Amino acid sequence: MSFTARSVFSRPRLCSSLVALFGALALTACGGGDDNTSSTPVATTQAIPAPPADPGFVDTAAVATGVPAFVDNIATNQRGDARYATLGTNAGVRLFTRFLDLWQPLTEIVDAGVSAPANGSFPAVVASTWTGLPNDGTAGGTQLNLPVLNANVQYVVNATTNRTQAQADAAYFDDRRGKGYSVTDGMGPLTAAWRTLAQQTTSITTVPADATTVLYNDSGNNTGVGTSGGNTAFGKVVDLINTVGNNASTEPSKRFYKYARPYRWSSSVVVVPTLVPAESPTPTTDGGFISGHSAEAVRDTVAMAYLVPERFQQILSRGMELGENRILAGMHSPLDVMSGRMIGIAAAAANLVDPANAALKAAAFAQAHTALMAQTGTDATTFPALAQSGTPATDRFADYATNQANFMRRMTFGFTQIGATTLAPVVPKGAEVLLETRFPYLSADQRRVVLKTTELPSGYPVLDDAEGWGRLNLFAAADGYGAFNGNVIVSMDATQGGFNAADTWRNAISGAGKLTLQGTGRLRLAGANTYTGGTQVAGGVLEADSANAFGTGDVYVGAGTLAVNAPAAVAIAGKFTQLQGTTLDLAIGPNGQGKLSVAGLTTIAGGTLHVKFVNGYAPKVGDTIAVVDGAGSNRQFSSVVVDGFKATAIYTATGIQIHLDA
């Protein structure tokens, strides 16, 4: 049995009878308004395809076994206590076990310039004889991997001999100013408001013309004024940033690994002249590994990204930049900085996941948004746009591609992989808290899988710690899943606002899993995706912002809206199915931009087609425009809405077009 769409529109009572008699199959032949007509017969015998098959399992990211979790043992990160003087008893020291592949310290104990009395069964710590001067005739330890350690120092030689004056100035500021103050410029358009609300100050406002013999210290207040100082509007925000520094010192690791600063390894390292007075006169207690500045900057920016996830990637990029500035200053090496990143992230996570801080972090998050919106004259709807409104001229973190490239470069500083490159991903216990506000609509287990599917491959120097802190890539994680393994169900609630209402995943998503969107929010897929398990819209709006947004499987729209807002035609490699009560929303531009290109069977069993024209595309009455390429015999929208026009849908053997009527 088959009907022409025109005959159905002329006999609405017959159509209703057919629906009652034959159900969905008859519905596909029925029109839904005077603007929706067809010039071609539409068959009704084709069965409606089923949704993509459920893979039958949900991906997980198990915690590593056989190693004490850093988040449970951060309190052991102490010096001057015999109980926590060894690799086995100090969580901070244990984080960098893989440095022992490269360097054997004179003694494996937290003893550089440190002594401590015996404590129970733990023997007394006797101060090491390490001089801190690798060129004093003994290296003070044993270099186990000369190619890596030589490259580590040579990197600093190259960086400091080729730096620009602007880089030297930036390195000076990041050395002398409070790190908490420095990194707030990563807030971009929110920087002034943040500093005002936090009541932050600094005395380091210019680079001195000649400070080669004078040490300038910052007499400002670093992170600002907390609640104890009477800051009622923003004090909890400052309190949380300070709290993530609890038990986060880099000193125990410095005193254990006893690896000198780069300018002590090579006289070819050129320390920024205005920072020469900052060189410590006591190298025994001034090891280079690991960088304390880098660690503090990273943990501060992790806390700030938690509080203002609307600037998540930009503010983390600022923390990474400060780390690189330690190299440009001549004060630290890449391995120092990479390790500083590790403990900065781990310490922030440990303090954020601590139940004792749960009330503080919730209050600080709410206070940050309330105060910043009031200060900037925005509301929950307009605040995200303001946070992202900077331009390269006013916000050096405004360009996504530049941030991404710099972040990835700073993850490894060009080191090649020296270990096994195919180790399974591992996610530290508690690390999921780092994405708690960035992905409020995901479960804790899902956030762990995001971290798992976006982390660095294995094999890089130092980074393969047993728990996985070194491989975490928070920039990539902020762009959503890196792979769908198993069944991925995302449920968003637009009434909660923020990322619950709208979010964008930019990663190139691989894997054999399936994505299902539920709820009322809008999820945009912007990567060059290759996942094969299919896509199902069961609620909300799933938007394609790239040509391969939907991977290579079937796409099934059973409820909600499928939107296309891509710079080219969007490919559906499998079948495309749309049911009654749903919407296909196409942003059509010139040269086929924004249409669907379906390789498999196309089934339109009702629903709305909505078309708008973008990017200067201005068709005229009488034009016929292809909107869906794809064969099928069961295709009929209930209604067609084209902004600015009345339109007729034309169903051909190879696709669907719209004719713009007078």
Would you state the structure tokens that stand for residue 514, as one six-digit string?
A: 């399936």
Report whether 602 contacts 552 (CB < 8 A): no
Give how far Cα 590 sits from Cα of 43, 48, 230, 550, 640, Å.
31, 32, 58, 22, 20
Would you state the structure tokens that stand for residue 52, as one six-digit string?
A: 């993509």
Instruction: List the chain domain ranges.
Output: 2-56+482-661, 70-416
Report whether 32 contacts 417 (CB < 8 A): no
Euclidean distance between CA atoms 233 and 296, whole angstroms? 24
pLDDT given at position 137:
67
Average pLDDT taken over every residue of the chain: 92
For residue 75, the tally of other CB atoms under 10 A from its CB is: 11
Q: Global pTM?
A: 0.93
Q: Please provide the size of the chain in residues.
A: 662
Q: Which of 234, 244, 288 is nearest to 99 (CA)?
A: 288
pLDDT given at position 10:
32
Report whether 428 contacts 387 (CB < 8 A): no
Euclidean distance between CA atoms 607 and 468, whole angstroms? 47
Report whether 331 contacts 412 (CB < 8 A): no
Query: Exposure pattern of 447-462 as b/e (b: 16+ CB <10 Å)?
Result: bbbbbbbbbbebbbbb
290 preceded by cis ω (within 30°)? yes
Give how far Cα 148 sits from Cα of 94, 103, 257, 422, 469, Å.
21, 10, 16, 20, 21
Report whether 362 contacts 369 (CB < 8 A): no
Q: Which of 15, 1, 36 is nearest to 650 (CA)?
A: 36
Give how far Cα 58 sits from Cα of 219, 413, 451, 485, 513, Å.
53, 35, 15, 7, 9
- List the alpha helices (DSSP H) in 89-134: 91-94
Give how far Cα 49 sits from Cα of 31, 270, 653, Å.
21, 68, 18
pLDDT given at position 208:
87
pLDDT given at position 9:
32
Euclidean distance between CA atoms 356 and 372, whole angstroms? 26
Q: Is 151 left (phi over 0), alpha (psi -120 to 50) or beta?
A: alpha
Q: Which residues of the chain fall below pLDDT 70?
A: 1-45, 136-138, 211
Q: Which of 531, 523, 562, 563 is nearest to 548 (CA)?
A: 531
Instruction: Fill in the DSSP letter of residue 471.
Output: G
User: So what's the architecture of 70-416 in CATH?
Assistant: Up-down Bundle (1.20)
